[in-house]
Amino acid sequence: MEKPKKKIAAPQKRPRPRKPKTAYSPEEIHEIFRRFSVQRPEPKGELEHVNAFTLLVAVVLSAQATDAGVNKATRALFKVADTPEKMLALGEAKVGDHIRTIGLWRNKAKNVIALSEALIRDHGSQVPDSRDALTTLPGVGRKTANVVLNMAFGQPTMAVDTHILRIGNRIGLAPGKTPEQVEAILVRIIPAEYMRHAHHWLILHGRYVCKARKPDCPACVIADICKSAEKTTAIPAPLVEIQATA
């Protein structure tokens, strides 16, 4: 008698990993950014610059450095070199002398000269207004490109720095292990009407309120909405509402 054939179990499908999601409803997200917009109607970046070129240079120099430190170094630099041609004429050694107080200044001086050459050679001395073009320039990554596109050209980009990466995870607004993951969530969930300034609102909130070591919850305009487990002090919702709409 022929033995019955064993049934081969169908291979089980592995569940796909779930994409990180925000902890907030669309209504809560809208209210968060509405309050930010009332608190700071016209937020501005803190890097000093006089045109798109000096903004690009300042952002490149700001990697692993503070805005205050970059501003101190570039005030004199931008007085003598506010165009790619002037920067190239100044030369790597003199650029280095100006930015010596900034971390990684030697490599940054090389990048500033190299990107000045690339702008003259490939872009008619103009800073391009596309991310693809910007990220081909020496020393320019996605975050730098997003900052320039937002500040110089008014594009609704999201430049995720250490502050935004921290806030996205701490309060559950945009959880992600990498800046790219956090950026992807934020550009998807932030209402279009608030995208223009959202990157600055989040940076300033992280720099001055939702700080790394000790969040200043009493000064937070979204404390009653915030879902962070790290809150230092609870604030009654009516008080936050008054602060946000004053």
Q: Over the stretch 227-237, which tens digit does the pLDDT of each residue have?
A: 998 776 555 44
Is 19 catalytic? The answer is no
Q: Which residue has the higher pLDDT, 2 or 43?
A: 43
Q: What is the pLDDT of residue 45?
A: 87
Query: Taking the alpha carbons of 226, 228, 229, 234 in that order, is the dihedral positive or negative?
Result: negative
Cα–Cα distance, 151 to 132 (Å, whole number): 17
Predicted structure pTM score: 0.82
Q: What is the pLDDT of residue 244?
A: 43
What is the distance between the terminal CA atoms of the chain, rounded to a whole angstrom? 89
For the stretch 89-138, pLDDT in tens is: 999 999 999 999 999 999 999 999 999 999 999 999 999 999 999 999 99
**pLDDT exceeds 90 at position 54:** yes
Cα–Cα distance, 82 to 42 (Å, whole number): 25
Q: Which CATH number fits domain 52-153: 1.10.340.30, 3.40.50.300, 1.20.1600.10, 3.40.1160.10?
A: 1.10.340.30
Confidence label for 239 from pLDDT (cuts 50, 70 and 90)? very low
Q: What is the pLDDT of residue 237?
A: 47
Exposure on the CB side of residue 135, measured as CA atoms within 13 A: 9
Cα–Cα distance, 33 to 162 (Å, whole number): 19
Q: Are 182 and 165 in contact (CB under 8 A)?
A: yes
Q: Is 189 exposed, middle or buried (0-12, 13-18, 19+ CB in 10 A)?
A: middle
For the stretch 2-41, pLDDT in tens is: 555 555 555 566 656 566 689 999 999 999 999 999 999 9
Q: Are 146 and 157 in contact (CB under 8 A)?
A: yes
Binding residues: 210, 217, 220, 226
Query: Taking the alpha carbons of 25, 196, 168, 225 in that order, is the dihedral positive or negative?
Result: negative
Is 3 catalytic? The answer is no
* Residue 80: both structure tokens together: 């003598």
For the stretch 162-217, pLDDT in tens is: 999 999 999 999 999 999 999 999 999 999 999 999 999 999 999 999 999 999 99
- CATH 1.10.340.30 placement within the chain: 52-153
* Residue 198: both structure tokens together: 């959202």
**CATH code 1.10.1670.10 for 26-44+157-245:** yes
Catalytic position from the list 108, 161, 214, 224:
161
Q: What is the pLDDT of residue 2?
A: 57
Catalytic position from the list 72, 143, 177, 211:
143
* C-alpha dihedral, 145 to 150 to 154 to 157, nearest 10°: 90
Binding residues for [4Fe-4S] cluster: 210, 217, 220, 226
- CATH 1.10.1670.10 placement within the chain: 26-44+157-245
Cα–Cα distance, 71 to 58 (Å, whole number): 8
